[in-house]
Amino acid sequence: MIVRALQLVFDPSSWHARRVLVRATADGEPEDRTIDATSRELSLPFADDTFSALECGDVLRYLPEPLAFMQELHRVSAPGATASFVLPDAGSDEAYSPIFATRPYTPVSFIYFGQPAYHRADYGYRGDWETVEAIYVVARERYAGGSIAAVKEALARERNQSLCFLMTLRAVKP
């Protein structure tokens, strides 16, 4: 099986149009495309079930229509594809930008992108993602020698304890 990867990167230079630079890599050949990420009718220029891996840097928090974006990622993902996200935690000042409009996220926020969150309501969202793992990145020097419990306690009670978090999701398709 050939692994095709889609890498999405936020392009701050085109923020006035709220655009996301889409870099698709297939068989080692990159193609850069800029897509308008403001629309509820977001359409990536790729066929259904194309990608087995998606890498989304710090993109999601800048998008005004995250459900449309996640639904479109789901469409172009092959069954069982993984999508990885790197984001600053909502408990960090880095999650809020004075220059760009941003939405803060935590690992728990990603429940919103799975169909179980819609068991009593239908918003028209048709993507379905399950959480594979969530990893917080913290400063080694601050927590050296500390226990996992101490790190969890600090993350729950204090601001600016994580540098970012890494989220991995899996596309759920029939």
Mean pLDDT of the chain: 83
Residue 26 has pLDDT above 80, yes or no: no
Contact yes or no for 70/42 (Cβ under 8 A): no
Mean pLDDT is highest, among 1-5, 18-22, 27-31, 76-80, for 76-80
Q: Give pLDDT, residue 60.
A: 86
Distance from C-alpha of 28 to C-alpha of 3, rounded to nearest angstrom: 10
pLDDT score for 170:
97
| Residues 138 and 145: beta-carbon distance below 8 Å | no
- What are the b/e assignments for 79-106, b being 16+ CB within 10 Å? eebbbbbbbbbbbbebbeeeeeebeebb
Structure confidence by residue, pLDDT tens digits, 119-142: 788 888 899 999 999 999 988 888
- CA dihedral of 71, 77, 80, 86, whole degrees rounded to 10: -70
- Which candidate, 61, 105, 54, 103, places its Cα nearest to that of 75? 54
Share of the chain above pLDDT 90, in %: 36
Give the tens place of pLDDT for each residue, 67-80.
Answer: 888 999 999 999 99
**What is the structure's pLDDT at 167?**
95
46 contacts: CB under 8 Å, gap ≥ 6: 6, 24, 76
Report how far residue 174's alpha carbon sits from residue 167's, in angstroms, rounded to the nearest whole number: 23
Q: How confident is the model at residue 23 (pLDDT cuts 50, 70, 90)?
A: low
Q: To which residue do tokens 């540098």 refer?
A: 163
CA 16 – CA 33 distance, rounded (Å): 17
Residue 164: DSSP 8-state: E
pTM: 0.85
| Top-ranked range on mean pLDDT: pick from 20-34, 97-111, 122-136 | 122-136
